[in-house]
């Protein structure tokens, strides 16, 4: 029997490559498939179908919705190897990382299958003896999601699973670079018993066309977006006219701080994991490093040595740790930031080998200053700029000197400093002596220009529920 990856490729590929959205392997530039495109009329019809499906889905007992979601979760586990290979083909990340993402994505389905049964209301003591006050939670209705290419499965399940658990329907627009993973997990959702009209994947003629329908269609009551801050702001303006609920997970510029009392070997291991996962193409990866003067040389030497040992290449090769960047524009931006930093006095540690195509070796830059563009901008590539510091207060000021506030990291063994710094950092998430913080059981999200709302954890379910207050008057009291 064909695996889900092959079935997705066969069903997506149209006879004429030019008749749909072409999908390419970033490691080899080979054509993979052509995905059918949805026009505006079809988009509007999809919303109508999602509305009708949602009304029926919301009537199901929470336990029944939970059981169906558990079946979807199990199908992802059963097809994890096939899904991982498909993801590597279209996105480029190493196969081991892709497999980790499949399991990570599945964990959200499992979590919210459990949370579906826990959308609790409450009773509230009333101000009068003849009243009873209570709250209930109800699904917001039709929802939609716009998801990025860097985590083509997990960013979908992190949104779709709570929506379905809450009793909502969802339309998903995956990134143009990585639609195949979305189509594959949607097919598994249908096999699990989720109605096709309840969870739909749409590929529009342009991102703007889909965004306009998502933001303006009156039946859609919630938009969830993961992507750039610039696009997030535009979407927020558009949904405001219809007062839709909106969740935004936007850009990041995560500081990674190493204090003089840190365990340097642990800090290096955490930095490698945080910085170079997915070739540095994650919104929560370490973007700029601040290292205390007293341990600067030791950290730089050990970190650069560990980074140079990472093999770069096609993600399908088992020994590869860093795959290609997603496209040429992404690589050009990273190379431009590196060149500018070197011109301004930063020093390249070692001599990374040159790589053709979209491959790029890890770059470690020392003697970087806080005001360089490579520090101020989100790099989204395998580059680590390292800055010296000596004063904690000045360090906190630099770490917080960003419009972004998604993730941050620091290493210290001083318990007083741990709480002092964690509370001072203006970020939605703080990793203390830990370089990987994402998990389905904790609320994921940022502050400032990094977004609104939270995904995962019990808070993630509330993003898709309306709270309704019931006041019951005329209640009979007994002596």
Q: Which residues are catalytic?
A: 249, 283
Q: Please, what is the end-to-end C-alpha distance for the chain in angstroms? A: 72
Coil/strand/helix, residue 84: helix
Cα-flanking dihedrals φ and ψ of residue 312, to 5°? -110, 135
* Partner residues linked to 49 by β-bridges: none
Cα-flanking dihedrals φ and ψ of residue 225, to 5°? -135, 135
Dist. CA 385–CA 399, nearest whole Å: 14
Dist. CA 461–CA 116, nearest whole Å: 8
Cβ–Cβ under 8 Å, residues 86 and 181? yes
Q: CA geometry: angle at 14 spanning 10 and 19, to 5°?
A: 155
Dist. CA 386–CA 377, nearest whole Å: 14
Of 196, 197, 244, 253, nearest to 224 by C-alpha is 244
Burial of 200 (0-12, 13-18, 19+ CB in 10 A): buried
Dist. CA 326–CA 25, nearest whole Å: 9
* Partner residues linked to 171 by β-bridges: 144, 200
Cβ–Cβ under 8 Å, residues 22 and 34? yes
Dist. CA 237–CA 243, nearest whole Å: 10
Of 413, 7, 354, nearest to 190 by C-alpha is 7
Give 458's DSSP letter: T
Helices vs strands, H then E, count in the chain: 16, 20
The encoded tokens of residue 224 equal: 């969830």
Of 94, 88, 96, 53, nearest to 189 by C-alpha is 53
Cβ–Cβ under 8 Å, residues 441 and 111? yes
H or E stretch including 23? strand 21-24
Strand order in the sheet with 465-472: 122-124, 132-139, 465-472
Give 329-332's long-range contacts (Cβ < 8 A, gap of 24+): 330/281, 330/358, 330/380, 330/381, 331/358, 331/360, 331/381
């Amino acid at each position: 029997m064909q695996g889900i990856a092959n079935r997705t490729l066969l069903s997506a590929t149209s006879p004429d490559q030019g008749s749909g959205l072409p999908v390419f392997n970033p490691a080899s530039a080979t054509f993979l498939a052509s995905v059918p495109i949805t026009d505006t009329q079809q988009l509007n019809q999809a919303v109508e179908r999602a509305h009708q499906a949602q009304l029926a889905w919301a009537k199901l007992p929470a336990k029944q919705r939970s059981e169906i979601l558990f079946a979807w979760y199990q199908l992802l586990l059963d097809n994890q190897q096939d899904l991982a290979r498909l993801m590597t083909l279209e996105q480029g990340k190493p196969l081991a990382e892709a497999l980790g993402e499949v399991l990570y994505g599945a964990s959200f389905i499992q979590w919210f299958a459990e949370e579906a049964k826990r959308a609790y209301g409450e009773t509230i003591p009333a101000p009068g003896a003849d009243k009873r006050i209570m709250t209930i939670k109800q699904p917001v209705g039709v929802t939609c999601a716009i998801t990025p290419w860097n985590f083509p499965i997990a960013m979908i399940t992190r949104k779709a699973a709570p929506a379905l658990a809450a009793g909502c329907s969802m339309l998903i627009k995956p990134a143009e670079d990585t639609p195949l993973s979305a189509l594959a997990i949607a097919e598994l959702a249908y096999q699990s018993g989720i109605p096709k009209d309840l969870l739909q994947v749409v590929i529009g003629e342009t991102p703007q066309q889909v965004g306009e329908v998502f933001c303006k269609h009156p039946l859609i009551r919630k938009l969830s977006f993961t992507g750039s801050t610039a696009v997030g702001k535009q979407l927020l303006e558009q949904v405001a006219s219809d007062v839709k609920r909106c969740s935004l997970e936007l850009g990041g510029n995560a500081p990674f701080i190493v204090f003089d009392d840190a365990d340097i070997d642990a800090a290096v291991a955490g930095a490698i994991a945080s910085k170079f996962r997915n070739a540095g193409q994650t919104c929560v990866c370490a973007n700029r490093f601040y290292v205390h003067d007293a341990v600067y040389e030791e950290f730089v030497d050990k970190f650069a040595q560990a980074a140079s040992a990472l093999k770069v290449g096609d993600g399908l090769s088992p020994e590869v740790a860093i795959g290609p960047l997603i496209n040429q524009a992404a690589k050009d931006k990273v190379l431009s930031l590196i060149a500018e930093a070197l011109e301004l006095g930063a020093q390249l540690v070692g001599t990374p080998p040159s790589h053709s195509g979209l491959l790029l070796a890890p770059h470690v830059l020392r003697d970087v200053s806080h005001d360089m563009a490579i520090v101020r901008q989100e790099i989204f590539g395998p580059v680590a700029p390292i800055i010296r510091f000596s004063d904690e207060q000045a360090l906190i000021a630099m770490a917080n000197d960003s419009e972004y506030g998604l993730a941050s990291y620091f290493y210290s063994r001083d318990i007083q400093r741990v709480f002092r710094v964690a509370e001072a950092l203006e970020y939605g998430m703080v990793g203390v002596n830990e370089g990987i913080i994402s998990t389905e059981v904790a609320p994921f999200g940022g502050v400032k220009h990094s977004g609104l709302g939270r995904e995962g954890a019990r808070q993630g379910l509330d993003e898709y529920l309306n709270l309704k207050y019931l006041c019951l008057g005329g209640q009979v009291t007994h002596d």
